[in-house]
Amino acid sequence: MKRIFTLSIIAMAAFLIQGCVRNDSGINESYWLSKERGEVVYNDSYCNYYVVETYYGYNIVRSYNGYSPYEGAVVYGNFSTKGTRDMYNYSTARVFTGTVTDYWLTYSEAQDALDYYCPTGKAGKREFKTATQIDIK
């Protein structure tokens, strides 16, 4: 009888402790989802800059520590001012750092800015992917 009682106490304690442990990655997602939302519409592995389209226009972001989200990734952060800051890649649930160099640009201004930062040597312009997120447009 003592064994059953002891084992049931241990099982209950393990269940309670497991319920108290956070099962997520420690990211406060509700905080990030309250920030400005954007979608990566251009990324090139040969360039340290990528383009994020938000409700306000196109933003040029410089990758930090070599990490940049893939095209089509939904990202959250402050894209409306210049500077280095943390951002959240909702598609991969990862917080990363980037530097916003230009913000609220038109399509052609974003192309020109990207050509300035990463000259291709080609006469043609880069084409940006069309954002698929409904609330961005």
Interval 24-56: pLDDT, tens: 568 999 999 999 999 999 999 889 999 999 999
Listed in sequence order, the residues at least 6 apart from 118 whose beta carbon sits closer than 8 Å to its beta carbon are 44, 46, 47, 48, 49
* Pairing verdict, β 49-54 and 36-43: antiparallel
Rounded to two decimals, what is the model's pTM? Answer: 0.77
- Which of the four pLDDT bands, split at 50, 70 and 90, describes residue 21? very low
Distance separating alpha carbons of residues 84 and 23, to the nearest angstrom: 30
